[in-house]
């Protein structure tokens, strides 16, 4: 047995090169010198890859991003892409495939016209976009996460994201296809037709007749349904471990059926379908709504769910508190005991929000966040408030603040610089409500939650102090400044009274001196006979000295 090796080959657009080996038993690939200290995802991506010979269907040779590419179509493992070959490797590779697997290596040329219109071919393992009967690009079905009808003639396709762990370079996130026109759809309808009674029969008989009805549907709808079946986006509900039907979502708005599988969950709505990997779910919150009627389940996902240009980093589910659910997991005893015995129960009969929380926590293996020690004056874990124009509830939890529902905001304590409490302005409402401003550390960003009941201020302030969050109460600061100013003003008044007393005496003395100096002349003018004479003489002397003519009296 002779093995043939090829060096510097990249498997499925991996960022690390490796060695590819062809043997009688199949194909193999192993990464060269994987980096130490890598996480679980990268080690999984760089693990040795083996493809048995019985899995190989066809192989093609074409230009790739790093040289020439060998593209292998398999029976059950999708498309295997091996890139990085030299042009001289074609002959040797063709001989080895023929010798080991009796397989002809097909040379395939891609279209380089750059056109964005063509025909789609839904092949066994991938979607092929052809331009002038040549493939422009291929999309393996395993890379497709979601597909939605975004318009009458438009289909959107979303792709898996692995966080850049294994693949090199940028990745395409979404692609949209415009599919014009309509297609005639024929459906068979079975009808029961009554036949008149024959001779000797008392009652008429019913006969089933099949008729064919033809109606037109959009070509985009047909393409969407075919792609969904090929890519296994809409999986059969019977394969799910557990399913919940007609669940109300506040974000994104609508009702969805939830199907939970071993590694992912499926949301099936009237317009949109979503597939969410459990690896995307970061946190799960289970919080009672302060209205004492509903219960909220919040899923924080990264990367966020996309609906056109809108991103949804949080999924908010709402169920009635009194609603009960009875179900049994779709697992056999052996599989349940081996994988899920410590995380799930085989059957449930409890309130719906308890069952859903337990299933989410067991299948995703994420921590379930529940209300902490905070309680409002109504003994609720959340308080009613508003964020800009949106009304909602603010939950002070053990390690974060969470505002629901639109927009849902998650603020961990470690990112909070300080908290400021202030009044909401003038008027009667100012005495009943206050604002809570949360400033984020290391940025100018802040979240202002308004219209909070005044009686909750002391409770929130005490909670923040217990969590080690700096609190700045503007009202207390204003009162302290006012009291300080009034005290300083009182001290100034006391000092001014003492100064004014001494100054008053001096003024009185000076006034008396002035009065005494002029008192003799005044008394002399009024009571002394010599005063008039002297005054007349002085006036005559002044008149003689003044040669100017007398002023005329002003006319009234």
pLDDT in tens, the chain (556 residues): 578 899 999 998 888 899 999 999 999 999 887 655 455 555 566 688 999 999 999 999 999 988 999 999 999 888 999 999 999 999 999 999 999 999 999 999 999 998 999 999 999 899 999 999 999 999 999 888 888 887 789 998 888 766 555 666 777 888 999 999 988 877 766 666 666 666 655 666 666 667 777 788 899 989 988 898 888 765 544 478 999 999 999 999 999 999 998 888 989 888 778 888 898 899 999 999 998 899 999 999 988 887 767 889 999 999 999 999 999 999 889 889 988 988 999 999 999 999 999 999 999 999 999 998 899 988 999 999 999 889 999 999 999 999 998 899 999 999 999 998 887 544 545 578 888 999 998 888 889 999 899 889 889 989 999 999 998 876 666 666 776 677 776 666 655 555 544 444 444 444 444 445 444 445 444 445 444 444 444 555 554 555 556 655 555 4
Can you name the residues that pair with 397 across neighbouring β-strands?
A: none
On whether the CB atoms of residues 313 and 300 are closer than 8 A, the answer is: yes
Distance between CA 327 and CA 349 in Å, rounded?
A: 7
Tokens at residue 167, please? 């693949």
How do beta strands 471-473 and 416-423 pair? parallel
Three state DSSP letters for 532-543: HHHHHHHHHHHH
pTM strictly above 0.85: no
Distance between CA 265 and CA 296 in Å, rounded?
A: 18
Distance between CA 7 and CA 17 in Å, rounded?
A: 8
- DSSP per-residue codes, 502-554: HHHHHHHHHHHHHHHHHHHHHHHHHH-HHHHHHHHHHHHHHHHH--SPPPPPP
**Chain-centroid distance, C-alpha 407:** 8
Smallest CA-to-CA distance from 71 within 118, 32, 128 is with: 128
Q: Could you report the per-residue pLDDT of 503-539, keeping only the tens digit for each?
A: 444 444 444 444 454 444 454 444 454 444 444 445 5
Distance between CA 324 and CA 354 in Å, rounded?
A: 9
Distance between CA 292 and CA 152 in Å, rounded?
A: 42
On whether the CB atoms of residues 287 and 281 are closer than 8 A, the answer is: no
On whether the CB atoms of residues 401 and 392 are closer than 8 A, the answer is: no
Tokens at residue 5, please? 């090796």
Can you name the residues that pair with 205 across neighbouring β-strands?
A: 195
Q: Which residues of 386-405 are buried (b: 16+ CB within 10 A; e: fewer)?
A: bbeeeebbbbbbeebbbbbb
Smallest CA-to-CA distance from 358 within 335, 327, 316, 400 is with: 327
Tokens at residue 490, please? 């009182």
Tokens at residue 69, please? 């590419």
User: Could you tell me how many residues make up the chain?
Assistant: 556
């Amino acid at each position: 047995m002779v093995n043939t090796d090829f060096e510097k080959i990249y498997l499925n657009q991996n960022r690390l090169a490796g060695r590819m080996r062809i043997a009688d038993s199949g194909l193999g690939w192993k990464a060269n010198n994987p980096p130490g200290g890598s996480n679980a995802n990268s080690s999984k991506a760089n693990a040795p890859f083996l493809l048995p010979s019985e899995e190989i269907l066809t192989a093609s040779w074409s230009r790739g991003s790093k040289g020439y590419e060998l593209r292998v179509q398999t029976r059950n493992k999708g498309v295997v892409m091996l890139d990085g070959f030299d042009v001289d490797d074609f002959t040797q590779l063709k001989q080895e495939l023929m010798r080991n697997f009796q397989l002809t290596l097909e040379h395939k040329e891609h279209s380089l016209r750059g056109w964005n219109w063509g025909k789609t071919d839904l092949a066994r393992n991938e979607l092929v976009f052809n331009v002038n009967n040549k493939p422009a690009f291929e999309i393996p079905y395993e890379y497709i996460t979601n597909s939605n009808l975004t318009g009458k003639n438009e289909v959107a396709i979303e792709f898996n994201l692995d966080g850049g762990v294994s693949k090199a370079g940028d990745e395409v996130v979404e692609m949209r296809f415009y599919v014009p026109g309509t297609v005639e759809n024929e459906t068979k309808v079975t009808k029961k037709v009554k036949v008149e009674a024959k001779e000797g029969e008392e009652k008429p008989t019913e006969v089933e007749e099949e008729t064919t009805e033809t109606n037109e549907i959009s070509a985009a709808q047909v393409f969407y349904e075919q792609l969904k079946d090929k890519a296994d986006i809409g999986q059969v509900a019977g394969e799910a471990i557990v399913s919940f039907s007609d669940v109300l979502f506040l974000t994104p708005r609508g009702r969805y059926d939830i199907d939970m599988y071993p590694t992912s969950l499926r949301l099936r709505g009237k317009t949109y379908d979503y597939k969410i990997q459990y690896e995307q779910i970061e946190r799960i919150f289970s919080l009672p709504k302060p209205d004492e009627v509903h219960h909220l389940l919040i899923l924080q996902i990264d990367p966020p769910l996309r609906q056109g240009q809108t991103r949804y980093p949080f999924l908010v589910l709402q169920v009635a508190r009194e609603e009960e659910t009875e179900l049994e997991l779709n697992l056999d005893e052996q599989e349940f005991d081996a994988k899920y015995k410590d995380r799930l129960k085989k059957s449930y009969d409890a309130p719906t929000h308890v069952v859903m929380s337990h299933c989410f926590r067991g299948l995703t293996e994420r921590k379930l966040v529940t209300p902490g020690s905070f309680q409002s004056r109504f003994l609720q874990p959340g308080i009613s408030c508003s964020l800009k124009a949106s009304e909602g509830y603010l939950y002070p939890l053990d390690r974060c603040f969470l505002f629901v529902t639109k927009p849902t905001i998650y603020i961990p304590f470690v990112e909070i610089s300080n908290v400021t409490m202030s009044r909401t302005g003038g008027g009667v409402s100012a005495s009943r409500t206050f604002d809570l401003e949360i400033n984020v550390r290391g940025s100018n960003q802040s979240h202002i939650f308004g219209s909070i009941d005044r009686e909750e201020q002391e409770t929130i302030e005490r909670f923040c102090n217990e969590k080690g969050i700096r609190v700045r109460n503007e009202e207390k600061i204003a009162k302290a400044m006012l009291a300080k100013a009034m005290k300083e003003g009182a001290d100034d008044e006391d000092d001014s009274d003492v100064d004014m007393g001494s100054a008053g005496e001096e003024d009185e003395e000076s006034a008396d001196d002035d009065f005494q100096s002029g008192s003799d002349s005044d008394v002399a003018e009024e009571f002394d006979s010599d005063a008039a004479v002297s005054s007349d003489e002085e006036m005559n002397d002044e008149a003689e000295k003044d040669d100017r003519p007398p002023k005329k009296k002003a006319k009234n």
